[in-house]
């Protein structure tokens, strides 16, 4: 069932309603076949794209100036959005869990619940989904507009490798910035949780942090933070791939931006499920 859902989402993301409209009165098995074909074609094209990208990773020039520009676009320019989302998440966690813990006579565990929830799961996944919307859509639209206006073809004619200059710099920027942005989301989430709790029950920030991190170990903190580098890789690769395969003028650019967000979010959620299990096995 999960595989069928993935196939439908991926196929219809690029094809829109083309398949459904063309086969509206046809046998549903024909529609399913078209969706399956579209899905496996997309997987094959993505594999070829990744192979081409891997070939240029260590090949000079390394495009340091473009990499710094992309790091600035992905990291500092997303900081306020991520910080606000983290603070709001911490505040909501504090409001939602405080009453439940008080009913069970475990109100003193509120700082630990907020800290564990943020650093182990909520902070990383919220940051990744926010970045898939902001950065994924931006990359898909930017590369898509360059594709339909033949700027990428002009780069290739000028002996500039677009996979090196356009794709790899964006992918690497996402990989480097996602863990740092996750730390910012965790920090502001803890501050938001403390501020919300302090409004109802005055407690110092120092005491709140000491109680929250009393039982936290590096195995609780580092693996969930580092896994966001994989989320960054997904965002960079999928959104760049969608942008590079844009067709159909300005309408195609809009489809590329939309499909980038949808697919990045979908694969981030699926990757998160796998990474949680892997982390549990490697860091018990």
Structure tokens at 221: 């903190």
Residue 142 DSSP one-character state: H
Structure tokens at 82: 């991520």
Q: Would you state the pLDDT for residue 215? A: 83
Q: What are phi and psi of 202, to 5 degrees?
A: -55, 125
Q: Would you state the pLDDT for residue 35? A: 78
CA distance 143 to 153: 12
Structure tokens at 26: 């046809």
Q: Would you state the pLDDT for residue 9? A: 53
Q: What is the pLDDT of residues 63-91, one digit of tens each?
A: 788 899 999 999 899 999 999 999 999 99
CA distance 116 to 216: 8
Give pTM, 2 decimals: 0.87
Q: Would you state the pLDDT for residue 18? A: 44
Question: Which stretches within 132-248 are classed as H helix?
Answer: 137-148, 151-157, 162, 169-200, 205-212, 218-244
Cβ within 8 Å of residue 51, ≥6 positions away = none
Structure tokens at 258: 């939309």
Q: Compute the average pLDDT of residues 36-49.
A: 87
Structure tokens at 236: 């960079």
Nearest to 189 by CA among 171, 208, 175: 208
> Is the pLDDT score of 258 beyond 80?
yes
Least confident among 106-115, 125-134, 188-197: 106-115
> Is the pLDDT score of 4 beyond 70?
no
Q: What is the pLDDT of residues 222-256, one digit of tens each?
A: 888 999 999 999 999 999 999 988 888 778 888 88
Q: Which residue has the higher pLDDT, 220 or 139?
A: 139
Place of tokens 């926010």: 130
Nearest to 54 by CA among 233, 228, 246: 233
Nearest to 7 by CA among 268, 276, 275, 266: 266
Using a pLDDT cut of 90, give the percent of the chain over it.
35
Structure tokens at 79: 């900081």
> Is the pLDDT score of 203 beyond 80?
yes
Q: What is the pLDDT of residues 135-160, one digit of tens each?
A: 999 999 999 998 888 888 888 888 78
Place of tokens 């360059």: 146
Rg of the chain (C-alpha set): 22
Q: Would you state the pLDDT for residue 155? A: 84
> What's the full length of the chain, in residues?
284
Q: Would you state the pLDDT for residue 182? A: 94
Q: Which of 106-115, 175-184, 250-259 has the highest mean pLDDT?
A: 175-184
CA distance 43 to 10: 9
Phi-psi region of 246 (alpha: psi -120 to 50; beta: other; left: phi over 0): beta
Q: Compute the average pLDDT of residues 11-35.
A: 57
Q: What is the pLDDT of residues 156-182, one digit of tens each?
A: 888 788 888 889 999 999 999 999 999
Q: Would you state the pLDDT for residue 135? A: 92
Using a pLDDT cut of 70, give the percent of the chain over it.
90
Q: Would you state the pLDDT for residue 131? A: 93
CA distance 270 to 155: 35
Q: State the number of CA atoms in the 13 A half-sphere of 161 facing the CB.
A: 17
């Amino acid at each position: 069932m999960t595989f069928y859902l993935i196939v439908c989402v991926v196929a219809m993301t690029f094809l829109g309603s083309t398949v459904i409209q063309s086969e509206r009165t046809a046998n549903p098995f024909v529609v399913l076949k078209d969706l399956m074909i579209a899905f496996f074609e997309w997987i094959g094209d993505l594999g070829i794209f990744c192979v081409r990208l891997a070939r240029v990773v260590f090949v000079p020039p390394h495009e340091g100036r473009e990499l710094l520009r992309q790091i600035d676009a992905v990291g500092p320019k997303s900081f306020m959005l991520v910080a606000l989302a983290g603070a709001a998440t911490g505040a909501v966690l504090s409001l939602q869990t405080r009453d439940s813990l008080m009913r069970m006579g475990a109100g003193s565990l509120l700082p630990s619940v907020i800290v564990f929830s943020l650093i182990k799961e909520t902070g990383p996944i919220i940051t990744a989904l926010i970045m898939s919307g902001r950065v994924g859509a931006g990359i898909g639209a930017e590369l898509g507009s360059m594709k339909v206006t033949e700027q990428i073809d002009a780069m290739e004619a000028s002996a500039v490798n677009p996979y090196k200059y356009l794709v790899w710099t964006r992918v690497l920027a996402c990989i480097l910035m996602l863990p740092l942005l996750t730390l910012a989301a965790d920090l502001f989430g803890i501050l938001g949780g403390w501020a919300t709790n302090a409004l109802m029950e005055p407690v110092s920030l120092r005491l709140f942090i000491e109680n929250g991190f009393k039982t936290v170990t590096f195995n609780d903190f580092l693996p969930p933070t580092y896994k966001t580098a994989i989320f960054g890789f997904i965002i960079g690769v999928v959104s760049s791939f969608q942008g590079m395969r844009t067709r159909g003028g300005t309408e195609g650019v809009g489809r590329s931006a939309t499909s980038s967000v949808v697919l990045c979010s979908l694969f981030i959620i699926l990757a998160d499920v796998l990474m949680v299990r892997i982390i549990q096995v490697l860091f018990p």
